[in-house]
Amino acid sequence: MRKYLNLQCGDGGKIKQLLNALADKETDVEAYRNAFYALGVELGRLLGEEYRDARAGATMLVCASEDADWLASGVEAGMGKGDLKKSVYWSSRETIYESEDGEKIEIAPIEKAYEEKIEKCELLVIVKSIISTSCVVKTQLTRLIGKVNPDKIAIVAPVMYVDGEKNLQKEFPEVISSKFRFLTFAVDDEKKGSEVLPGIGGWVYPRLGLGGMAEKNSYIPKMVLERI
């Protein structure tokens, strides 16, 4: 069953339509990309309201390579603070255990990284298409926390699994997890194997037109190309 959150902060009807477009496996690539961008804008507006005093030069936007050009770009636009510092990661996924009912334990080693320097990180914004297991965000956070020592950490996704917040918090000591603020529009409590239902309609890479794991890890987002 899906629970909606934060719809009163924007156009609730529009947000539900966009979430339904992600969940619908018949949504074509362009519409799927557009839905992620539009949801990113709405999430960015929430962030902009909550962290009004966060300066652009002291805010770092963090995302996986597949989320950069649509969801993360939408978040940056919605925040309305201008150009943010960026860290973008290309990760693989490796299953180290799978139960008989399809539940998996996965790790997400980073294959490549684009990281910008930041003098003082007041706000670290981690953007993810869906928060289910903690592996991808945990890996990104573990890499960055010691480097940028953020004052506050916002973790944003259009959709989260009901245990996603708890799973991530337990991976870090309280001195770190106390900085977390989770923002989402939908919380789902059903899974089929490792897929959250209705979630975002399956694996995000092919639905965005990026192919499989190897193909998406060879894709360089426009967000990065424009900066190098």
Give per-residue pLDDT as tens, 107-146: 667 899 999 999 999 999 999 999 997 778 898 999 999 8
- Which pLDDT score, from 0 to 100, does residue 94 have? 65
- Cα(19)–Cα(65) distance, integer angstroms: 21
Q: Residue 12: pLDDT band by 50, 70, 90 thresholds?
A: very high
- Which pLDDT score, from 0 to 100, does residue 10 have? 79
pLDDT digit string, tens, across residues 161-178: 999 999 999 999 999 999
CB atoms within 10 A of CB 150: 24
- Which pLDDT score, from 0 to 100, does residue 100 have? 62
* Cα dihedral 83/180/47/24 (nearest 10): 100
- For the chain, which domains are there? 2-225 (3.40.50.2020)
- Which pLDDT score, from 0 to 100, does residue 98 have? 59
In this prediction, what percent of the chain has a pLDDT beyond 90?
A: 77
* Tokens of residue 94, six digits: 């490796």
Mind giving me the DSSP string for 41-101? HHHHHHHHHHTTT--GGGEEEEEEHHHIIIIIHHHHHHHTS-PPEEEEEEE--EEEEE-TT
* Tokens of residue 66, six digits: 């597949």
Cα angle 210-207-75, degrees, rounded to a multiple of 5:
85
- Which pLDDT score, from 0 to 100, does residue 216 have? 86
227 vs 16 pLDDT, higher one: 16
- Cα(119)–Cα(221) distance, integer angstroms: 25
For tokens 């719809």, name the residue.
7
Question: What backbone torsions phi and psi does residue 208 show, to the nearest 5 degrees?
Answer: -85, 0
* Tokens of residue 177, six digits: 């997890």
pLDDT digit string, tens, across residues 177-218: 999 999 999 999 999 888 899 999 998 999 999 988 888 888
Whether the bond into 221 is cis, omega within 30 of 0: no
Is pTM beyond 0.85 here?
yes
- Which pLDDT score, from 0 to 100, does residue 101 have? 62
Q: Say whether 112 sits in a helix, a strand or coil.
A: strand
- Which pLDDT score, from 0 to 100, does residue 112 have? 93
- Cα(133)–Cα(105) distance, integer angstroms: 8
